[in-house]
Structure 1
């Protein structure tokens, strides 16, 4: 059984400091927008690795598809203003 978007948010928050997080699901796939100061100075792949690390083994057992948009607070503020 798939976890809920709220559970996914909780898993990520346990491993990453988030200033904003929103997770949606279409019933099979999850789509996460995550804003964290921990992403500063990191390339996209490193940001995704942080999220996968926070998810742990759940990425192998519970969640098979997770689309990630990972922003620093500054990037998110700039994109939100556009």
Structure 2
């Protein structure tokens, strides 16, 4: 089961991505329960995440460039707190909502 994340790491992810990429839609999903007891599970319940983000900043950028922008915004968290991060990026035109 995936949970919309509400813990301190998830809140930092949301705040940083909001500040850096000004998304029109952002979901931070905590996948950590699916990895309990596996390598990278630090017991915090906040080690594995999925980010689903829609931002006009992604216009004209390929998938790799978009993911780099997300990774840059979260660099220190990825180095110390986040073991795994799945990223889905779209522009508002690609969102289809």
TM-score bracket for this pair, using the shorter chain length: 0.7 to 0.9
Write the distance in 1 (CA, Å) between the matches of 2:11 and 2:77. Answer: 14
Give how far 1:52 is off: 0.6
Say which SS state the counterpart of residue 69 (structure 1) adopts. Answer: strand
Say which SS state the counterpart of residue 57 (structure 1) adopts. Answer: helix
Deviating above 6 A after TM superposition, structure 1's stretches of 4 or more consecutive aligned residues are: none
Unaligned runs of at least 5 residues, structure 1? none
Question: Which one has a bigger Cα radius of gyration?
Answer: 2
Matched, 1:32 2:51: yes
TM-score, length of structure 2 as denominator length: 0.71
Give the alignment's Cα RMSD to 1 decimal. 1.6
Write the distance in 2 (CA, Å) between the matches of 1:66 and 1:48. Answer: 10
Q: Which residue of 2 aligns with 1:17?
A: 22
Q: Which residue of 2 aligns with 1:42?
A: 61
Q: State the Cα deviation string for residues 2-23 of structure 1 (Å, max 9, x = none).
A: 8442331112112111111001
Q: Which residue of 2 aligns with 1:68?
A: 87
Aligned length: 77
Q: Structure with the greater relative contact order (CA < 8 A, sep ≥ 6): 1 or 2? A: 1
TM-score, length of structure 1 as denominator length: 0.83
